[in-house]
Amino acid sequence: MSEPIFRSLRDWTEPAHPGVVRLYDELIQIYQEMRKQQDKIDAAFDRVASQIGFVVTTTLPVRIELDASGAVKSATLDGDALRGTLFEKELAPFVSSLKEKKFPGVPAGTFRFYLIWYDALRLKLRRDWLEPAHVLQGVLNTLVAQQGVRGIAVRPEVLEPVHWFDPGFAIGIEDAVVISAIDEAYPELRLAERIAADRLLIRRIRPEVMEPVHFTGIKERDVLAEVKAALGKNR
């Protein structure tokens, strides 16, 4: 019987729960399949940015429902705010085409994952030598051109998904598993490492930014590290 894949995550108290490992393995298969179709995904994002004039986002959430054979029963962009937008116009055809795909070995259920605009996200994460608060738009334009994204500017505030990089929001276990799965499918992005570094740097630049747990004097929980350690123990 089909059921939401995140149904039991709310009840987890320890990231070592075997369900974390199962979800991680299942998401890896989905992201690896998306990477095989990266050219189509990048082209759709690029068409949106070309019409708008700048990069609005480098990821979009998608929800698919799989049957017991791994066949896709339904596939949609996940979010009412996307309806009637350029993103729906350009990316909905690709999302609909997922109904022709199969994910052997992935159990029946509903999965939420992100379509990734690889070129733009890689560019945004490639700024070890720049402080996030002082990114120069002209430099970014040059880098974008070098990456072949048709010279479309990447706005400095574009970090996707935003709450992953914002130390004002705690990262949940579900997010940590997704981040780890993306790192497996796209290891060169070093996503978990960049997220941790950005959150630390922003806290240093903006001392008023605190995790909710700081208000109670409790030490911040490093969920990313906990999930990574749990996955390492169980693999």
pLDDT digits (tens, 9 = 90+) for 131-140: 443 333 444 4
Q: What is the pLDDT of residue 179?
A: 92
Task: Decide if 4 is inside a domain.
Answer: no
Task: Decide if 7 is inside a domain.
Answer: no
The closest alpha carbon to 209, from 221, 197, 222, 200, belongs to: 200
Q: Please answer whether residues 49 and 32 qualify as being in contact, where contact means their C-beta atoms are separated by less than 8 angstroms.
A: no
Task: Decide if 115 is inside a domain.
Answer: yes
Task: Decide if 138 is inside a domain.
Answer: yes
Residue type for 81, please? Answer: A
Which helix (DSSP H) or strand (DSSP E) does residue 173 occupy? helix 173-185
Give the residue-averaged pLDDT of 36-47: 94
Quick: pLDDT tens for 91-133. Answer: 999 999 999 888 988 899 999 999 999 988 888 777 544 444 3
Q: What is the pLDDT of residue 75?
A: 94
The number of distinct structural domains making up the chain is 1
Q: The domain containing residue 104 runs over which residues? A: 15-234
Angle 92-53-136 (CA atoms, 0-180°, nearest 5)? 125
Task: Decide if 6 is inside a domain.
Answer: no
Task: Decide if 9 is inside a domain.
Answer: no
Which helix (DSSP H) or strand (DSSP E) does residue 61 occupy? strand 59-66
Task: Decide if 108 is inside a domain.
Answer: yes
Q: Which of 6-15, 162-171, 180-189 has the highest mean pLDDT?
A: 180-189
Give the residue-averaged pLDDT of 146-153: 48
37-56: burial string, b at 16+ Cβ within 10 Å, e else: eeeebbebbbebbeeeeebb
For the chain, the straight-line distance linking the first and the last C-alpha, in angstroms and rounded, comes to: 27
Task: Decide if 40 is inside a domain.
Answer: yes
pLDDT at 235 over 70: no
For residues 13 and 96, give the distance between their C-alpha atoms in angstroms, rounded to a whole number.
Answer: 36
